[in-house]
Amino acid sequence: MLFGHRTDTETFSRFDICLGHLVYCQQWYDGQADPLYARQCKISRYLKISPLFSFEKFQTEDEYEVARWVYENLVSENQEGEINEEAGAE
């Protein structure tokens, strides 16, 4: 399965998937040489989000629930080791 197992019956839309990936790329890229930056630019060509959109809104508003789930899965699958290293460094 692409994003793991969901227990509820809510379905994904292309918008939710693209937005989850876009926010992941925006939050985790490490400069212009990073492949996540290239993916962010590619997604931004066909997904235009409002200038009023913010990560804070993304984290709190119900309309982004499915996209947030996609984002959280991407973080857990790809950044788990990095997050644990940062927590141990503090």
39-46: long-range contacts (C-beta < 8 A, 24 or more apart)? 43/18, 46/18
Alpha-carbon Rg for the chain in angstroms = 14
Among the listed residues 60, 86, 74, the one whose alpha carbon sits nearest the alpha carbon of residue 28: 74
Contact 23, 71 (CB under 8 A): yes
Residue-wise pLDDT tens digits, 39-82: 999 999 999 999 999 999 999 999 999 999 999 999 999 877 66
Mean pLDDT of 32-40: 94
Residue-wise pLDDT tens digits, 4-26: 445 455 677 899 999 999 999 99
Contact 12, 66 (CB under 8 A): yes
Cα–Cα dist 68/61, whole Å: 10
Residue 35 has pLDDT above 70, yes or no: yes
Q: What is the pLDDT of residue 79?
A: 79
